[in-house]
């Protein structure tokens, strides 16, 4: 009751004027979809997969879910009902790193808890963030027991007329009215910027696949967490409901379930149950918070950030609760809620790309300050272009960690991709995850073509 009362007070406050975010906003047309293959790999449904996602999509006739909720229910998930669990996070280092913040969280829906250790593993989990009509799915093949990752790309009516605006992507409209869906398996995406395995198979081909949750244990700094009595989880919820109503579904999850049942502990249990408790570059939020309270700094966090900046690991989450400027976030939230309440679609503001520049540089969205050209390439490109990734792919010709080993032709091709105009689907690095200033891009090009 106290949380509901505070939410009602927070949403009634008069906002300050909107302040421009530190980085360029993401366009309403899907950015991620530009990097999808034109079609899934050959005969996806003839691969012999024995998992819940493949079985659902490979029915005859094939299903065509028209909403996120219909997709989830087809997979056996129903957010808010017994057997289905949810966890929302206000900060993520996954594919949509630029889009995730307290106003536009990443919503995870999953089942499979608890599991009888003698039974076959049958969990499925989905992740969705507004801004892109893309759903990430993971399940386990019940015959091979291998983790299998998928992306579902949905088409909205505005995609067919190239007329999408922010209201189509950032309100409940994003989650329904789909005109088509396309399923891609991780194998289909491995040579693209949407590669699932760069995070979920961090040591490369032939090594174990894992689920990812960098803050695996309490404090769960960035998760909505009413059940755990986490102060940070309480604050994240309060931030979210300055923009959204409890009557709204977000990521397929009813608002009252967001309010009362977001459960990072359940997600942690799933990760552990599925043999993924060894998290590379794990974020120990409780330790980091204690260090910062004691001295104002955290040697633990700084070491993790250095590993990420060197290309050794994926970005580490921000050490603090909010990745946004609170004044800016409050103003945008109020404008969003008024626009939705009054039905003014053209007034819906951008909810993504609200990170402060300090957070962007700390979490890999931007290179560290004063980075050299080589450092820019490592931090902007090293996640995908490095020796631990599949060296049979064409993208392996560009190795951001070993520039001196690259051929002149590969260097030239990489430079040409970096010179493409903004909005070109082949421009690198991908706009959905990385921002470079003109000077940083120039330094990177000089390192490529000295």
* CA–CA gap between residue 135 and residue 106 (Å, rounded): 11
Q: Are residues 72 and 168 in the same domain?
A: yes
In a domain, 124, yes or no: yes
Q: Are residues 120 and 253 in the same domain?
A: yes
* Tens of pLDDT, residues 20-45: 333 445 656 677 887 888 777 668 89
Q: Are residues 143 and 254 in the same domain?
A: yes
Q: Are residues 379 and 276 in the same domain?
A: no
In a domain, 338, yes or no: no
Q: Are residues 379 and 269 in the same domain?
A: no
In a domain, 394, yes or no: yes
Local confidence band at 12 (pLDDT 50, 70, 90 cut-offs): very low
In a domain, 323, yes or no: no
* Residues spanned by the domain of 233: 1-281
Please state the pTM of the whole predicted model.
0.92
Whether the pLDDT of residue 411 is over 50: the answer is yes
Question: How large is the angle between the packed helices 231-240 and 2-12, nearest 10 degrees?
Answer: 40
Q: Are residues 255 and 383 in the same domain?
A: no
Local confidence band at 5 (pLDDT 50, 70, 90 cut-offs): very low
Domain boundary among 258, 281, 304: 281
Domain boundary among 281, 301, 322: 281
In a domain, 125, yes or no: yes
* Tens of pLDDT, residues 81-117: 999 999 999 999 998 999 999 999 999 999 999 876 6
End-to-end CA distance of the chain: 63
* Tens of pLDDT, residues 189-242: 999 999 999 999 999 999 999 999 999 999 999 999 987 666 778 899 999 999
Q: Are residues 146 and 240 in the same domain?
A: yes
Give the chain's domain count.
Answer: 2
Q: Are residues 202 and 82 in the same domain?
A: yes
In a domain, 322, yes or no: no
In a domain, 286, yes or no: no
Q: Are residues 276 and 383 in the same domain?
A: no
User: In terms of pLDDT, which residue wins out, 24 or 361?
Assistant: 361
CA 236, 239, 243, 248 torsion: positive or negative? positive
In a domain, 8, yes or no: yes
Q: Are residues 250 and 381 in the same domain?
A: no
Domain boundary among 246, 264, 281: 281
Alpha carbon 285 to its chain's center: 19
Whether the pLDDT of residue 3 is over 70: the answer is no
* CA–CA gap between residue 282 and residue 122 (Å, rounded): 26
């Amino acid at each position: 009751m106290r949380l509901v009362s505070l939410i009602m007070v927070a949403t009634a406050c008069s906002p300050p004027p909107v302040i421009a975010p530190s980085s360029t906003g993401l366009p309403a047309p899907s950015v991620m979809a530009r990097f999808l293959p034109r079609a899934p790999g050959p005969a996806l449904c003839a691969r012999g997969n024995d998992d819940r996602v493949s079985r659902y999509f490979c029915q005859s006739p094939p299903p065509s879910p028209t909403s996120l909720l219909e997709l989830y229910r087809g997979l056996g998930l129903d957010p808010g009902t017994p057997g289905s669990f949810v966890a929302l996070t206000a900060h993520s280092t996954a594919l949509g790193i630029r889009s995730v913040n307290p106003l536009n969280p990443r919503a995870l829906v999953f089942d499979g808890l608890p599991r009888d250790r003698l039974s076959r593993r049958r969990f499925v989990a989905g992740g969705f963030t507004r801004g892109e009509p893309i759903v990430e799915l993971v399940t386990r093949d019940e015959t091979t027991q291998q983790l299998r990752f998928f992306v579902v790309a949905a088409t909205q009516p505005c995609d067919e007329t190239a007329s999408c605006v922010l209201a189509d992507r950032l309100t409940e409209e994003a989650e329904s009215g789909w005109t088509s869906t396309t399923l891609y398996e991780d194998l289909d995406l491995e040579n693209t910027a949407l590669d699932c395995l760069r995070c979920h198979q961090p040591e490369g081909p032939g090594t174990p696949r894992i689920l990812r949750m960098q803050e695996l244990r309490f404090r769960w700094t960035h998760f909505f967490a009413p059940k755990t009595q986490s102060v940070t989880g309480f604050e994240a919820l309060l931030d979210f409901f300055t923009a959204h109503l409890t009557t709204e579904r977000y990521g397929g999850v009813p608002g009252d379930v967001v309010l009362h049942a977001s459960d990072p502990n359940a997600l942690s249990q799933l990760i552990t149950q599925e043999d993924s408790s060894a998290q590379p570059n794990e974020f120990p939020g409780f330790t980091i918070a204690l260090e910062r309270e004691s001295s104002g700094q955290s040697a633990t966090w700084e070491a993790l950030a250095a590993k990420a900046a060197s290309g050794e690991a994926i970005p580490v989450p921000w050490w603090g609760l909010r990745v946004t400027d609170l004044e800016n976030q409050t103003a945008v939230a109020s404008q969003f809620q008024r626009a939705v309440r009054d039905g003014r679609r053209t007034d819906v503001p951008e909810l993504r790309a609200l990170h402060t520049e300090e957070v962007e540089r700390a979490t890999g969205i931007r290179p560290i300050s004063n980075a050299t050209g080589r450092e820019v390439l490592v931090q902007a490109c090293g996640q995908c272009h490095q020796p631990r990734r599949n060296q049979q792919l064409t993208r392996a010709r560009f190795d951001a960690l070993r520039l001196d080993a690259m051929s002149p032709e590969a260097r030239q091709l990489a430079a040409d991709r970096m010179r493409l105009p903004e909005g070109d689907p082949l421009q690198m690095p991908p706009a959905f995850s990385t921002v470079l200033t003109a000077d940083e891009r120039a330094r990177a090009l000089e390192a490529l073509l000295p």
